[in-house]
Chains A and B, each alone.
Chain A
């Protein structure tokens, strides 16, 4: 009996001791995400549904890529850290102030702020800017056309890939950067604010550095990239030491870093954010959860962000059957914005033209009201020689459903179609490569780079924008008269007259119907209950800023 009592006592003491240890707990709990909080600090656990197109500032041309890098690479000019239209204001970045424009609008002079450093400790030099521009051109970046058409000598450099761009001079001693343009360009300040031309150290390799991104000048930097799994950011050690002092108007950020995990299933992402194991999901809430999430969390953990964007189907105008304008117009008649609004679960607002609502120059019209019977009749009359079409889409819902919708519509009006749904990680790279066969028609989206209508014309519809790789003019539309008008309008400052001219151009291009546009998207910022939603800033061009996330 005594032995039993002893054993029982020992067991009881052990149990009580264990319970006591558990109750006291220890340290921060990793399992429910978002370590730290209160007065700042902590690691933001965030999820993307896959790798952005690139994690290389010279190459990335997607909302996902720019959101991932907007606090790592700062160009000479940048955008104000503000929501809505205010966030489209261009402000000095690495440059001391906005450029001095002279010589009839053809010469831009800027001065680099002194004392700036990259995240690896190298000093930022004025000559790093022309290096970054040349690197971007050599890499055949999708953004090249902004600069090859604008900067004197850039087009020749793009052809020869040798020497330097004659139109850019930089003085490392004084920090002066002078850019000569071929002609005045109303959008050039905006284009200097894009990450394509963010200065980089001159030992940066001329290759895609997604797996090992180059050092940057922003408040955060990439510490680890695992393709297929995610990446991590930490505070740039040289931000506090040097850059924040040189750029006091740019925020340093509350969080200490971020851990981004790829979760391909959007349902799981929503579940994780609701549970708090993830603090933020970058991509869209899936359609069947959107209404529920909006009702439950709007204002507390969810905020709807209207965007200036265009979702459209492109058609290759250089190959049959879409080399016939009647066929392209017929496709436009056969597409229903209302159907696509349902496919996007109410997150899309119908739009049937090049410019989206909210963009200067937008004036609503609809040249092709939904009429399938008319579309069929037009196809019959056009009698195209090639009735076989390959339709392309990416596998991110509901874009894949939009592509399936186009596939079905084309079959309905008489075509034989083959649908190819590609992984979203590679979609733009594959369809932007001219060697990919059968690029007949497909899905695409475009979000504004800056609040100027040229952004929806030149990179997407100008002849000079057609590139062998990273091509964005997937229709391969090249109308000399339209090209000339685009160039002419782009030289002018935005005014009511210019906006009216862009509205006319919109209609003119839609009469040729290289696209079948269908709507503008609203995205959402959806965070866990640990994050202060009101502090998160969504920039119309760059997405959510990492520095604006703050734990409650």
Chain B
């Protein structure tokens, strides 16, 4: 299998790396990434956030002693000698108790249903991250396949795929996303063997994937168009390799760095998309929580309990920021020539170790 040894170097039209250097291309990329302190710091932050949401069952079972959807409207909390209502007669939920009630209602109750906000925040994060991750996997995989087919075959195949992507791209994303999301939430979907239950997470996953694919497929198609002109592809053709082998064994490995970068950035984008859909009632359905639904629920209580909307918003911001910085770091590490091209173009001189 002929590959361009420096990940991403194919895009810059580079040749083979000199055999004199000791480390392989991936190890070099790792070293470049680790030199990027911001990227490493934000990767650490992202890991912390993931650990936070993964700890949800532990917190729910051993600290809060409740589930994410269990209501406690009538319950009273004993805090020292004081008895506090979880929801008072005027509908005001209890505020953050921190550790005064042994960790119960650490961040207070989420509203008039008296659900534990901390538990919902953690479980909501699992759903938001799950949707972000799964849609990124599906979208990236689909975009790679479509980009490969369009870029390799060109001609009518390219035209058809490009036009379909153009149509999706031209649709008003949020409006159609909301309409589709609500339809799937109410009625579900049954297309032959494929069935999506009404209200299932597959509803928003499907909507997000449909609208995100063009954003990745188009640039990948462009890269494939360039790669098919390379000598190693010609060589493979000359050796009698078929189209599928050429696409997946020769060209695809050269797209690895691009795919990795897009993948990380797509997780972030799709989390935002899901948050928007859920905020508008077209994504995750009640009583389940995601960070988007928590912002929506919290917006009803902005005057009295602003934390309920602010906290999930902060978590979404930190997660998306982390992924974006990590994605930028990965891009610089995997394709340092993109930085060289940028510096040459702008006349900018970057200090050593910083990412663009």
CA distance A418 to B198 in the complex (A): 9
Residues of A within 8 A of B82 (CB): none
Do A342 and B299 contact each other (CB < 8 Å), given the known contacts A288-B304, A421-B281, A423-B281?
A: no
Bound CA–CA A397/B296 (angstroms): 11
Number of chain B residues close to chain A: CB under 8 A: 30
Residue of A whose beta carbon sits closest to that of B111: A401
Interface check A511, CB cutoff 8 A: no
Segment 154-206 of B: residues with Cβ below 8 Å from A: 182, 185-186, 198-199
**CB neighbours of A384 from chain B (8 A):** none
Q: How far is the CB of A414 from chain B (nearest CB, A)?
A: 15
Interface segment among B18-26, B84-92, B211-219, B264-272: the answer is: B84-92
Report the bound CA distance from A423 to B182 in whole Å.
Answer: 9
In the complex, which residues of chain A have a beta carbon less than 8 angstroms from the beta carbon of B3?
Answer: none
Residues of chain B within 8 A of A342, CB atoms compared: 73-74, 87-89, 91, 112
Please name all residues of chain A whose beta carbon is closer than 8 Å to the beta carbon of B287 when the two chains form the complex. 404, 407-408, 419
B89 in complex: contacting residue of A288, A289, A346, CB < 8 Å: A346
B303-322 vs A: 1/0 string, CB under 8 Å? Answer: 11100000000000000000
Q: A266-B300, A344-B91 are in contact. Are A401 and B185 (CB under 8 A)?
A: no
Contact (Cβ within 8 A) A345 B91: yes
The interface residues of chain A lying within 8 Å CB-to-CB of B185 are 420
CA distance A398 to B73 in the complex (A): 13
Q: Are B113 and A343 in contact (CB under 8 A)?
A: yes
Binds B, one of A125-133, A251-259, A333-341, A534-542: A333-341
B182, A398: Cβ atoms closer than 8 Å: no
- Complex Cα–Cα for A343 and B182 (A): 25
Give B40 Cβ to nearest chain A Cβ, in Å. 41
Contact A421 B285 (CB under 8 A): yes
Q: Complex Cα distance A408/B87, Å?
A: 16
Q: Distance in Å from the Cβ of B139 to the closest Cβ of chain A?
A: 28
B138 touches A (CB below 8 Å): no
- By a CB distance below 8 angstroms, the chain A residues around B89 are 341-342, 346
Query: Is A287 positioned at the interface, with any CB of B under 8 Å from its CB?
Result: yes
User: Smallest Cβ distance from B167 to chain A, in angstroms?
Assistant: 25
A407 to B113, CA, bound (A): 12
Given the known interface contacts A267-B300, A339-B74, A342-B112, the answer about A420 and B91 at a Cβ–Cβ threshold of 8 Å is no
A288 with B91: CB separation less than 8 A: yes
Interface centre among A266, A286, A292, A430 (most CB of B within 10 A): A286
For residue A428, give the distance in angstroms from its CB to the closest CB of chain B. 15
- Judge if B302 is at the interface, Cβ distance under 8 Å: yes
Chain A hits for B97, CB < 8 A: none
- How many Cβ-Cβ contacts under 8 Å join chain A to chain B? 91
Task: For the complex, give the distance between the alpha carbons of A408 and B115 in Å.
Answer: 11
Does the CB pair A408–B74 fall under 8 Å?
Answer: no
User: A289 vs B90: C-alpha distance in the bound complex, in angstroms?
Assistant: 10
Question: Once bound together, how far apart are the Cα atoms of A374 and B87, in whole Å?
Answer: 24
Residue of B nearest to A294 (CB): B90
Q: Which residue of B lies closest to A422 (CB)?
A: B186
CA gap between A354 and B71 in the complex, in Å: 26
- Which residues does chain B contribute within 8 Å of A343, judged by CB atoms? 73, 87, 91, 112-113
B341 CB-CB contact with A under 8 Å: no
Interface residue? B78 (CB, 8 A): no
Q: Are B299 and A339 in contact (CB under 8 A)?
A: no
Find chain A residues with CB under 8 A from B286 CB: 400, 404, 419, 421
The answer on a CB contact under 8 Å between B113 and A404 is yes
The minimal Cβ–Cβ distance linking A53 to chain B, given in whole angstroms, is 17
The answer to whether B198 and A288 have CB atoms under 8 Å apart is no
Residues 338 to 379 of chain A near chain B (Cβ within 8 Å): 338-339, 341-346
A395-B281 in contact (CB<8A): yes
Chain B residues whose CB sits within 8 angstroms of the CB of A289 once the complex forms: 303
User: Which of the four size classes fits the interface of chain A?
Assistant: 35 or more
Q: Is the interface of A mostly helix, strand, loop or mixed?
A: helix
Please provide the chain A residues from 389 to 434 with a CB less than 8 Å away from any CB of chain B in the complex.
395, 397-398, 400-401, 404-405, 407-408, 418-423, 430
- Known contacts being A395-B281, A405-B113, A419-B199, is A291 close to B71, with CB within 8 Å? no
A345 vs B92: C-alpha distance when bound (angstroms) = 7
How far apart sit A267 and B297, CA to CA, in the bound complex (Å)?
12
Q: Please tell me if A290 contacts chain B, counting CB pairs below 8 Å.
A: yes
How far is B90's CA from A292's CA once the two chains are assembled, in angstroms? 10
- In the complex, which residue of chain A has the Cβ closest to the Cβ of B91? A345
Q: Is the beta-carbon distance between B71 and A267 smaller than 8 angstroms?
A: no
Q: A346 and B91 in contact (CB under 8 A), knowing A267-B302, A336-B74?
A: yes
B304 engages A420 (CB within 8 Å): no
Question: Is A318's CB within 8 Å of the partner chain B?
Answer: no
User: 1/0 per position for A422-466, CB-CB distance to B under 8 A?
Assistant: 110000001000000000000000000000000000000000000
Contacts of B87 in A (CB 8 A): 342-343
Of chain B, the residue at the smallest CB distance from A412 is B70
Say yes or no for A17: interface residue by CB 8 A criterion: no
Cβ distance B289 to chain A, nearest Cβ, rounded Å? 11
Cross-chain contact of A420 among B69, B285, B300 (Cβ < 8 A): B285
Residue of B nearest to A395 (CB): B281
Chain A: minimal CB distance from B60 (Å): 15
Interface centre among A342, A346, A408 (most CB of B within 10 A): A342
Among B71, B92, B198, B303, contact of A405 (Cβ-Cβ < 8 Å):
B71
Contact residues in B for A400 (Cβ distance below 8 Å): 286
Flag whether B301 is at the interface (Cβ < 8 A): yes
Which of chain B's residues have a CB closer than 8 A to the CB of A267?
A: 299-300, 302-303
Task: State in angstroms the CA–CA spacing of A344 and B89 once bound together.
Answer: 9
* CA A443 to CA B269, docked complex, whole Å: 36
Q: A residues within 8 A CB of B304?
A: 288
0/1 interface trace, chain A 504-520, chain B, CB 8 Å (1 if under): 00000000000000000
B73 contacts across to A, CB distance below 8 A: 336, 339, 342-343, 405
B314 CB to nearest chain A CB (Å): 20
Residue pairs across A and B with Cβ atoms less than 8 A apart, 12 shown, are A267-B303, A287-B90, A288-B301, A291-B92, A344-B91, A345-B112, A395-B281, A400-B286, A404-B71, A407-B287, A408-B70, A421-B285
Which residues of A does B touch, CB under 8 Å?
265-267, 286-292, 336, 338-339, 341-346, 395, 397-398, 400-401, 404-405, 407-408, 418-423, 430
**Known pairs A291-B90, A343-B113, A421-B285 / 16 extra A-B pairs, C-beta < 8 Å:** A267-B299, A267-B300, A288-B301, A288-B305, A342-B112, A343-B73, A343-B91, A345-B90, A397-B300, A398-B91, A398-B112, A401-B111, A401-B113, A408-B287, A418-B198, A430-B186
Closest 3 pairs between A and B when the two form their complex, measured CB to CB: A345-B91, A339-B73, A287-B91
